[in-house]
Structure 1
Amino acid sequence: MALLPFQSGVSKDIATGVMATLVIFSVSVFMPVVGFVFSMFIPLPVLFYRAKLGRRLGIIVPLVAIAVMGVVLGGVTVDILFFSGLMFLGFAMSEMFEKELSVEMTVAGACGMVLGAGLIGILLYSLASNTGFFSLVSAYVATNLALSLDLYKGIGIPQETIDTISGSLDQIQYVLVRILPSLAVASTLFVAWTNLIAARPLMERRGLYFPDFGRLNCWRAPDPLVWGVIGCGLIMLLPATGLRLVGVNGLLVLLTIYFLQGIAIVSFYFEKKKLPRTIRVVLYMMIAFQQLFLLVIICIGLFDMWINFRKIDTDKHEPDLPS
């Protein structure tokens, strides 16, 4: 029996959503140089088609994509959990959109659901594979460090630099394993914010509902958050290694939030000065690949609380630094 037009349209949407997700996945896996950038947008098609098709039909897109990924990667792996988490982030963000919360609560709620589910998934995977949680994480970090080293060799990094990195792999692994919680939170926040910005014009153009968060380039972090930065900095001065790790992890997450505020300020002035899109892309790429620019953007976001670069919310009370 022929499909009804509605059924045919839904099937086409599901197929398109799955294909879009798998294309981004393929670029992420098989083109490692640009794959990292593409992988950040895996949540986007899931978010879009969850909003378009609803919860019951929208869930088919990530489920089918995960099944295909499992076939490509040869079963359930940590990488599958990673890509599944990215797809779940898109689904969770669409769910949060319907609750009409603030932008902070929307992003925090979606990230919380993904990180909680990811932690449970890794725990179950470690139990199923009879591998300790810490050992599993350490092995995953070591594997990715080795792959990164091979990538550096392939793109022509000087041999002296390769030898230096190779001789420091154990120390790098030691540090990465211990700051992995903050890296997971920070990267999830960044990916969620990036897809939030990317989804807005796409969904509005297709006539889909998008919450009225206002101009995101006018967004600023809650003022009391600066006390968290100060507190984490003080904790890092304590002699106890465990407490210092808490301070480092907390500081990395908070600085990511202030980086997002700094980027909002940069975007505000790009828009105000009406810079051409090409120039904006080049400048954003410079920010992404130059550590000094990253630090400058974080400082801009942090000091915006006192300097108020965009001259907005001028009557809002600004807390003082502790004496």
Structure 2
Amino acid sequence: MDLKQYKSSLKTLSYIILLTAINYFIPFLSMAVMVFWPVPIVYLVQKEESSRVIGIIVIAALINGFLFGIVMGLMTIIGFGLVGFVIGNVIKEDFSPLKTLIITIITVIISQALIFYVASGILNLDYQTLLKQTVKGLSGEFDQQSVEQLVMSQLGLIKMIFPALLTISASITGILNYYVSAWYLRRRGLNLKLYKPISSWYFYRWLVTPAIIISLLLSPNPIFINLNILMFFLAFLQGFAVLMYYFSAKNSSFLLKSFMIFLIFIFPPVPIILIILGLLDMWFNFRKQTK
């Protein structure tokens, strides 16, 4: 058997297992791993037939399941395996950059929803039991009834806005998956058209602004609460695009950009400022005024 013809497949398999090990043993790097996980599969799709790619994903799932548990095996197939396979084939079929990005985001949303619901079933999570354990653990310091009411209200809120939270999480992951995969393929010599940089992103003001107003007026309805969160997320993305535009215009260092992104996650006022900036930019187009 000539192993040379399996070189790319074996490399992909080793990269997948390595990334899974990093995710398993170094949890604080999980977010970074989620971004890079699909990339080896995306690249393999460009070089091999779909049947071989699927075979590698299945083998990786079996190995990950054996080494790191059934959930990791599951994530290999319906998680980054699915995402990488779809991104790779969409690129291979020469879809437009925008269509590729949209399909990537939709795929990640479906993937994360599948992981959540299937993993919940496999692990047999009993949220009522978890609630009782949480209340019991806190009842020594606080009034048990008050703690239970607080926890129940928080769980109810999370359950209500879960669709929006899932969509936002998957959208961010999908955007990063797309750009990182495209960057890697271009580094490997693939002549790939890339969708415009985030610093050039705009969203339709006549869609976002009225949707925010309507959803605020009808906010008691869970559907409109989720819509409101999603529209504010789009405003946040546009505000972030403005921020990246000014950093790029001033040739700011990668370190400074990374620091600002870090601030977004740890300093709550920053996302609020970016939402306001995004809404204003939709109407006043700050980036056009500086050109």
Is TM-score (shorter-chain normalized) higher than 0.5?
yes
Q: 1:283: which partner in 2? A: 260
Give 2:211's aligned residue. Answer: 228
Q: Secondary structure at the match of 1:311?
A: helix
Question: Aligned partners of 1:71 and 1:172: how far apart in 2?
Answer: 36
Pick closer, same or farther for the CA change 1:282–1:94 going to 2, 3 Å: same
Q: 2:155 aligns with which of 152, 173, 176?
A: 173
Equivalent of 2:228 in 251, 270, 283: 251
CA contact 1:219–1:264 (8 Å) conserved in 2: yes
> Hey, what does 2:282 align to over in structure 1?
305
1:196 partner letter: Y
* Among 111, 127, 149, the residue aligned to 1:139: 127
Deviations 1:154-205 (A, max 9, x none): xxxxx99xxx999833322221122111111111111011222223332211
2:178 to 173, 185, 196: 196
State the match for 2:54 in structure 1. Answer: 59
Offset at 1:100? 4.3
- The one-letter amino acid paired with 1:293 is V
The root-mean-square deviation of aligned C-alpha atoms, in Å, is 3.9
Per-residue deviation at 1:110? Answer: 2.8
- Supply the distance in 2 between the matched residues of 1:16 and 1:141 (Cα, whole angstroms): 39
CA contact under 8 A between 2:212 and 2:231: conserved in structure 1?
yes
Whether the aligned pair in 1 keeps the contact of 2:41 and 2:81 (CA below 8 Å) is yes
How far apart in 2 are the matches of 1:125 and 1:278? 37
2 CA distance for matches of 1:310 and 1:48? 35
Q: Give per-residue Cα distances to partners, 1:76-100, cap 9 Å, x unaligned.
A: 58x9459832442232222333454
Matching residue within 90, 95, 102 for 1:96:
90
Task: Identify if the C-alpha distance between structure 1 residues 299 and 65 changes in structure 2 by more than 3 Å, giving closer, same or farther.
Answer: farther
Q: State the 1:4 CA deviation.
A: 5.4
**Judging changes above 3 Å, is the alpha-carbon distance between structure 1 residues 33 and 115 closer, same or farther for their aligned structure 2 residues?**
closer
- Pairwise CA distance, 1:247: 1.2
Structure 1: state its 5+ residue gaps: 150-158, 315-323
Displacement of 1:206 in angstroms is 0.7
- Counterpart AA for 1:234: L
Cα distance in structure 1, aligned partners of 2:206 and 2:186: 33
Q: Could you say which residue in structure 2 is the equivalent of 1:106?
A: 100
Match of 1:19 in 2: 17
SS in 2 for 1:252: helix
Which residue does 1:321 correspond to in 2?
none
What number of residue pairs does the alignment pair up?
281
Deviations 1:259-311 (A, max 9, x none): 22222222222121111222222222112221111111222222211121211
SS in 1 for 2:70: coil
Cα distance in 2, alignment partners of residues 168 and 205 from structure 1 = 51
Output the CA distance in 1 between the equivalents of 2:64 and 2:56.
12
Amino acid at match of 1:21: L
CA distance in 2, matches of 1:117, 1:267: 29
Distance 2:288 2:258 in 1: 25
**Distance (whole Å) between structure 1 residues aligned to residue 46 and residue 234 of structure 2:** 26
* Aligned equivalents of 2:226, 2:111: Cα separation in 1: 20
Q: For the residues of structure 2 that align with 1:84 and 1:25, how far apart are their CA atoms?
A: 17
- Opposite residue 294 of structure 1, the aligned amino acid is P
Between the aligned partners of 1:271 and 1:186, the Cα distance in structure 2 is 25
Percent of pairs identical after alignment?
21
Bigger proportion of residues as helix: 2
Give the AA of the match of 2:272: L
Helix, strand or coil: the match of 1:85?
A: helix
Secondary structure, counterpart of 1:190 in structure 2: helix
Task: Give the 3-state SS of the residue equivalent to 1:213 in structure 2.
Answer: coil
Secondary structure of the residue aligned to 1:59 is helix
